[in-house]
Amino acid sequence: MKNILVLCTGNSCRSQIAHGYLELFSAGKANIYSAGIETHGVNPKAIQVMAEDGVDISAHTSNHVDEYRDVNFDYVITVCDNANEACPYFPGNVQRFHHNFPDPAKATGTPDEIMQQFRQIRDMIKTYAFNFADHYVNI
């Protein structure tokens, strides 16, 4: 079984959303982890927009990347430029991937406009996670 780490700055939004979708699309064929260079807690709006799409991430926790030093990862996916630049070295045959998604936690506007930005970024991450799982996990 493959071990996949999704890494972001604070492990609050983008990596949590990717974690939820990768679990869904991998259908039990991979162990999915998410972590941050820092920990900011799981953003309630990320939980909300995932629930709207039928994915429950309410039990997820915000974890620091150092907690997973002993896991042998097959894939590490960074979902923001900061995490990509600060990503620690992982020993072994680890394939690294990077996609810089906008940070929904920085959304501005009315509450409805902020939630719409969360949904747009969620949908971008959903597409990426589906394609990743299809190409690297479900082969």
pLDDT per residue as tens digits for the range 71-94: 999 999 999 998 889 888 888 889
- The residue annotated as part of the active site, out of 4, 5, 6, 8, is 8
The average confidence (pLDDT) of the chain is: 95
Which pLDDT value is given to residue 54?
Answer: 98
Q: Is 13 a catalytic residue?
A: no
Q: What is the pLDDT of residues 7-48, one digit of tens each?
A: 999 999 999 999 999 999 999 999 999 999 999 999 999 999
Question: Is residue 139 scored above 80 in pLDDT?
Answer: no
8 catalytic per annotation: yes
- Per residue, the 3-state secondary structure of the chain, as one string, reads CEEEEEEECCCCCHHHHHHHHHHHHHCCCEEEEEEECCCCCCCHHHHHHHHHCCCCCCCCCCCEHHHHCCCCCCEEEECCHHHHHHCCCCCCCCEEEECCCCCHHHCCCCHHHHHHHHHHHHHHHHHHHHHHHHHHHCC
Among the listed residues 80, 105, 125, 137, the single catalytic one is: 80
Q: What percent of the chain has pLDDT over 90?
A: 88
Q: Annotated catalytic residue: which of 87, 107, 115, 124? A: 87
pLDDT-derived band at 56 (thresholds 50, 70, 90) equals very high
Query: Does the annotation count 80 as an active-site position?
Result: yes
Q: What is the pLDDT of residue 129?
A: 98
Please determine, for residue 61, whether its predicted confidence score (pLDDT) is greater than 90.
Answer: yes
The domain ranges of the chain are: 2-137
pLDDT at 120: 98
CATH of 2-137, one of 3.30.465.10, 1.10.3720.10, 3.40.50.2300, 3.40.50.1220: 3.40.50.2300
pLDDT average, residue stretch 57-67: 95
Q: Is the pTM of this model over 0.75?
A: yes
